[in-house]
Amino acid sequence: MNRNASPSFLEFFAGGGMARIGLGERWTCAFANDFDAVKAQTYRANFADAGSSQGEGHFHAGDVFALTADQIPSADLAWASSPCQDFSLAGARAGLAGGKSSAFFGFWTLMKAMSAQDRAPPVIVIENVVGLLTSHHGDDFTALCGALSEEGYRFGAIEIDASAFVPQSRPRVFVVATRLPAVELEGSSAFHTRAVREAAARLPDDLKERWIWWGVPSPPARNTDLAVVLEPDDAVAWNPQDRTEALLALMADSHREAVELRIKSGERAVGAVFRRMRGGDQRAEVRFDGLAGCLRTPRGGSSRQTLLVIENGQVRSRLVTPREGARLMGLPDSYRLPRSQTAGLQVIGDGVAVPAVRWLAESLLEPLLDSKTASLAAE
């Protein structure tokens, strides 16, 4: 890829287009797809070239299984953030056979058909929750690697936590597969977490030979915390005090002590609270490390994240707003969210952190496509 050229990409399960934003303006989206009507509307609202609801433009709203390879243009990269519920620890862990994560096979059918037409993307990125590495004792990840290998790809995985870039704990695995030369991009990386190393070790020998240890460097230290992304206190709705007291009552002793310490300090402190089931009992757990917990879609009792703000001895609580959630995903304030709070949180909770995608593009994807340009120039 010439540095002045515009690499093209396909964005499957595009959601609100966060992978597109992360790749950056130098990249051209040749095709995008999502089944969800709210996400499709949000995508079109943010990208002028996406087209209208009548279908003009590069965005296609509908089931990935209904697409054919002839509808998909050739591109340098295919990005797939397939539904993750069946891989998540919060889900049923049904794996690739699960109803939602099986959407991956709709995507992969298209990739195989494009390969048969001799125009498969030379680079593929599959982004998902870290549970992909261990689902069904690693069998799902082995199946994924086997599918990539059968189509001539070498592959590797890295685990990036969005907390390296934004004040949100959001670990995700990125499987990067390629048919291009990659020797110069191999090496050690802090993103080769224990989960990645163990997943690679479980692979059969023939797939281990196809594995690439992507040498993605660590980014500079993050210099923002949760408090920075929050709306002004007078611009948000706070919970009634009895609801805050009920939340505090759900805390185990260690968490309540952490709150009391900050009350006594008299200084302003911001904490993120999740409700979880512990030993059959509902608990509220608070963290004051400057990070939000992983944002989720507004489904289920533990999905909505609460903020706890302590100042001048007073404790207040409220829900994270969609705009704050967007900032925690690295989105600019110019990003257009749905009017409904539930819809906004749905789009945000299913997305990929924008700065993580940008770092992956700068550190790996763009240099990898540079190798393609160099090879063509040498022929």
| Same-domain status, 277 and 363 | no
- 325 in a domain, yes or no? no
| Same-domain status, 145 and 16 | yes
Band (pLDDT 50/70/90 cuts) for residue 276 is confident
Cα–Cα–Cα angle for 370, 376, 377, rounded to 5 degrees = 90
Sheet holding 306-311, edge to edge: 281-287, 269-278, 306-311, 314-319
| Same-domain status, 45 and 99 | yes
| Same-domain status, 102 and 139 | yes
Band (pLDDT 50/70/90 cuts) for residue 28 is very high
Share of the chain above pLDDT 90, in %: 79
pLDDT value for 367: 96
Does 98 have pLDDT greater than 90? no
pLDDT value for 321: 95
- 189 in a domain, yes or no? yes
- 326 in a domain, yes or no? no
Query: What average pLDDT does range 123-131 have in this prediction?
Result: 95
- 165 in a domain, yes or no? yes
What is the identity of the amino acid at 187?
G
pLDDT, mean over the chain: 90
Residue numbers of the domain that contains 245: 232-320
pLDDT value for 118: 97
| Same-domain status, 33 and 154 | yes
- 328 in a domain, yes or no? no
| Same-domain status, 64 and 110 | yes
pLDDT value for 59: 95
| Same-domain status, 310 and 356 | no
pLDDT digit string, tens, across residues 70-93:
999 999 999 999 876 555 444 444
| CATH number of the domain bearing residue 172 | 3.40.50.150
pLDDT value for 373: 54
Band (pLDDT 50/70/90 cuts) for residue 100 is low
- 178 in a domain, yes or no? yes
Does 258 have pLDDT greater than 90? yes
| Same-domain status, 199 and 249 | no
Pairing of strands 306-311, 269-278: antiparallel
- 45 in a domain, yes or no? yes
Band (pLDDT 50/70/90 cuts) for residue 1 is very low
- Distance (Å, whole) CA 312 – CA 89: 38
| Residues annotated as catalytic (active site), given as ranges | 84
Residue 130, Cβ neighbours under 10 Å: how many?
22
The answer to whether the CB of 379 falls within 8 A of the CB of 7 is no
What is the count of structural domains for the chain?
2
| Same-domain status, 213 and 82 | yes
| Same-domain status, 216 and 236 | no
Query: What average pLDDT does range 274-284 have in this prediction?
Result: 86
pLDDT digit string, tens, across residues 47-77:
988 876 555 689 999 999 999 999 999 999 9
Query: What average pLDDT does range 177-191 have in this prediction?
Result: 96
Query: What average pLDDT does range 338-354 have in this prediction?
Result: 94
| Same-domain status, 276 and 251 | yes
What is the pTM assigned to this prediction?
0.92
pLDDT digit string, tens, across residues 301-342:
445 789 999 999 999 999 999 999 999 999 999 999 999 999
- 246 in a domain, yes or no? yes
